[in-house]
Amino acid sequence: LAKTTQPISMDSYEGQEVNITCSHNNIATNDYITWYQQFPSQGPRFIIQGYKTKVTNEVASLFIPADRKSSTLSLPRVSLSDTAVYYCLVGDKNTDKLIFGTGTRLQVFP
Amino acid sequence: NAGVTQTPKFQVLKTGQSMTLQCAQDMNHEYMSWYRQDPGMGLRLIHYSVGAGITDQGEVPNGYNVSRSTTEDFPLRLLSAAPSQTSVYFCASSYGGFSNQPQHFGDGTRLSIL
């Protein structure tokens, strides 16, 4: 299966903007790109989803270039409570299976 | 609404034992799935279902069975537990297709195989 890769970890300070990128070279043509947040001992929680260009909701923005081979989750003005692991989820065009990214551990410092 | 409920939360098994992990959702979602999460490997899809009576294999199906007799329930069976199946298991459901609808996850079952 094609890999969906993310940076292993990122550090930030409260109030800064954080951008996390996911590389998905083999994304299925009709599938959306979805991002999840996971805290320790909990299941992943939906953050945002998009197909192309830019999507924004009350907690994040998602930027998707025209070729859709990557996506960037943007968290504006992070707080300590944003410390978590972030995963992207895309469909693989060869297997038609959903593949989670490798996950990015975000640590926010005061 | 309780959302997605997984039981048990923790379980220890001996190699060769069988067990069923339970998953129930009260949102009337057609789509349900099982994932396992291992350190450093993210979440991997085991089996999924697009409706009652319909199941299919995911990325890592070997050693696991599923069935979907009702919309609400999607149990995962380990037929003969092996130490390699030590993991955290998550069940998820969604209203529509997995790729274009948010999935709702349970809080997981932590399974250790000795």
pLDDT range class, residue B42, cuts 50, 70, 90: confident
pLDDT given at position B1: 66
Neighbours of B7 (CB within 10 A): 12
Segment B13-35, tens digit of pLDDT: 999 999 999 999 999 999 999 99
Neighbours of B56 (CB within 10 A): 14
In degrees and rounded to multiples of 5, residue A17 shows phi and psi of -90, 140
Q: A71: closest CA among A28, A20, A31?
A: A20
- Chain A residues with CB under 8 Å of B35 CB are 100
Segment A58-81, tens digit of pLDDT: 999 999 999 999 999 999 999 999
CA distance A59 to A6: 20
Segment B61-77, tens digit of pLDDT: 999 999 999 999 999 99
Cβ separation of A31 and B100 shorter than 8 Å? yes
**Contacts of B14 by beta carbon, 8 Å cutoff, 6+ apart:** B81, B113, B114
Segment A1-49, tens digit of pLDDT: 457 889 999 999 999 999 999 999 888 888 899 999 999 989 999 999 9
- Chain A residues with CB under 8 Å of B59 CB are 1, 95, 97, 99
CA distance B110 to chain A (A): 9
Residue type, B102: P
Q: Count each helix (H run) and each strand (E run) in chain B, helices first.
A: 0, 11
pLDDT given at position B97: 72
Asked whether residue A50 carries a pLDDT value surpassing 70, the answer given is yes
